[in-house]
Amino acid sequence: MNSLSLRPGPIALLILGLIFSLHLLASFTHEEYGRVTSISRIASKLSPNKSTFTGNAFPNDQIYSDKRANATFVILCRNNQLWDTVRSVREIEDRFNNVYHYPYVFLNEVPFTEEFKYRLSSIVSSKAEFGLIPRDHWFQPDWIDEDKAKKSRDKMQSENIIYGGSLSYRNMCRFNSGFFFRHPLMQKYKWYWRIEPDVHFHCDITFDPFRYMEEQNKIYAFTISMVEYEATIPTLWGHVRDFVQKNPQYVAKNNYMGFISDNAGEKYNLCHFWSNFEIANMEFWRGEAYMNFFEYLDSKGGFYYERWGDAPVHSIAAAIFASRDQIHFFDEIGYEHAPYTHCPKERDHWKRGRCSCNPKTNFDFDGVSCLDKYVKFIHT
């Protein structure tokens, strides 16, 4: 009787074919498996491109993991912004959070309506919490001279300065500068990603920004940088200089002063990170340096006697109290807050993110953008 002869060649081909078939099936049915085993990802590992901006590990090269940071989205919004908030949350869910499932904290100076809570809870893929802002965290302090503050508001309004006559805008800027990270619902978290109503996320975010920042020892990240309206902060830099002179121990040795000042701190060049998008470590804001800095600035009344914004306050603090390798620019995240848009332009970020924005309308190197200054500074 002849024995059955098994030839190794056909068997090997059969096994390889079976493995490839299973790979294709997994790629189509499991998004993350397809992402981390894609040819483009493997190719990027073999021949990585050099970043124009940071020189650090590339966020898009991050391998998917079930590990999550202690983080949340935070959205300051009002009941009459329901549908603008729904659109913002729907976009970040579709572009990112339907995979990562980070929680949301919604904050308001008045109680949220039942409809607001129902609509937002219905569209998120994770937990949503709705908080009331404590009165002393939001409203103008009693020690502010209202007559003096009103004269300032009226003057700015007559000069057509944006939000110049708004008291609620000033409340918001002060709250975002020194109180949101102290809200009871935020206390349990380390990281936050700020989102506002009626913003747009134009690209798939194929990595976890929280995890990236934690692993790379970052404390603050942005997508858009620009100059501030000088008329809104005429005395801010003078108070910053006074604080620094009194507290030199807080100044980081390898800081970002060269980004926010063109003459070694003599004057502020008005550059700041646009804080309607920011991802940051709240332990930095809760730390001794920033808390003392905020309390000092708050005591000067500039949030009400002028119109100090949280963007320059956060940016100046990060630039002085953090080292230059702890601030990060996320080119990969396509983001729009009208009228400005950041659209990815480096490496294959636009293609990999399946972006919907037009790179030709990118704000990054507009005349009032500070990104060019940022790029030059980090490469000095």
Supply the CATH number for residue 280's domain: 3.90.550.10
pLDDT digits (tens, 9 = 90+) for 297-327: 999 999 999 999 999 999 999 999 999 999 9
112 part of a folded domain = yes
Residue tagged active-site, from 93, 278, 306, 332: 278
Q: Is residue 56 part of a domain?
A: no
188 φ, ψ (degrees, to nearest 5): -80, -5
Identify the pLDDT of residue 18.
52
pLDDT of residue 214: 97
Residues of the chain with pLDDT under 70: 1-56
With respect to residue 166, please indicate whether it lies within any of the assigned structural domains: yes
Given this model, what pLDDT does residue 57 score?
Answer: 79
Q: Does 254 map to a domain? A: yes
pTM here is 0.85
**278 tagged catalytic:** yes
Give the three-class secondary structure for 342. Answer: strand
Any domain includes 18: no
5 domain residue, yes or no: no
For residue 367, what are the domain limits? 71-378
Q: Give the chain's domain count.
A: 1
Q: Could you tell me if residue 48 is inside a domain?
A: no
DSSP letter string, 127-180: -EEEEEPPHHHHSPPTTS-HHHHHHHHHHHHHTT-TTTT-HHHHHHHHHHHHTG
Q: What is the pLDDT of residue 110?
A: 98
Q: At what angle do helices 236-246 and 310-321 cross, to 10 degrees?
A: 30
What's the pLDDT at 27? Answer: 42
Residue 339 CB contacts under 8 Å (≥ 6 apart), including other chains: none
Residue 225 is encoded by which pair of tokens? 């940088």
Q: How far is CA 380 from the centre of its chain?
A: 25
Residue 205 lies in a domain: yes
* Range list of H helices, 179-309: 209-215, 236-246, 257-260, 282-286, 288-299, 302-305
How much is the pLDDT for 69? 98
